[in-house]
Amino acid sequence: MTEPEVRHDQAYWDERYRSQDRLWSREPNRHLVGEAAELEPGSALDAGCGEGADAIWLAGRGWQVTAVDLSNVALERAAAYAAAAGEQVAGRIDWQQADLTGWDPGRDRFDLISSQYLHLPPGQREPLFERLAAAVRPGGTLLIAAHHPSDLHTTVRRPKQPELFFTGDEIAAALDPAVWQIVTNAAPERTVTDPEGRSVTIRDTVLRARRRD
């Protein structure tokens, strides 16, 4: 089962968000919660923040969050959700519109950088992850979660673009072991319902790395 081809441009994502009152769950991504819940709050970058559930969760735990997305529609919705959560949360989040394929977060800026289900093709994905890694401070965490390539062999709905999918090994191979400690490199299973109502087991790519002090 496939979805229409995913494009990485603002018009595509603005229209996709406009197509529904809420595109994603307002719950934070499970792998962010599982991997970051015990981290000491500091500065965080939510790269590809969408409707803001992850940024709001982080801000609620005391993080100062820079939340970046391509879609103004998503960011307006995210800011409204944050405002509804109260000033203590909303005041900790800086919403920024940017195309991550060309945006430079700077170097050594963040204690946590999270990229959740951001699927870019080769040639765009590697330079982005390189910039994100460079923006992590010594002692900080890089956390990347995505749909696993094995999902393409199930009946769950996925774009018919295998080049968008990657494994944790691919990310880890690009991280200098003298600089990075791999904390998590896993492909955990979870059960979802496919478009025909059947239970399907899928996997996620989860990579968490700590930059050495």
* pLDDT tens digits along 71-90: 999 999 999 999 999 999 99
User: Residue 24: is its pLDDT beyond 70?
Assistant: no
Q: What is the pLDDT of residues 155-200, one digit of tens each?
A: 998 988 999 999 999 999 999 999 999 999 999 999 999 999 999 9
> What pTM did the predictor assign?
0.93
Q: What is the pLDDT of residues 4-23, one digit of tens each?
A: 677 777 778 778 878 777 76
Number of domains in the chain: 1
Residue 2 forms part of a structural domain: no
| Residue 150 belongs to domain spanning | 8-21+28-198
Between CA 76 and CA 78 the distance in angstroms is 5
Q: Could you tell me the CATH number of the domain that includes residue 132?
A: 3.40.50.150
Q: What is the pLDDT of residues 33-68, one digit of tens each?
A: 999 999 999 999 999 999 999 999 999 999 999 999
Question: Angle at the Cα of 126 (from 122 to 131), degrees rounded to 5?
Answer: 150
Residue 209 forms part of a structural domain: no
Residue 151 forms part of a structural domain: yes
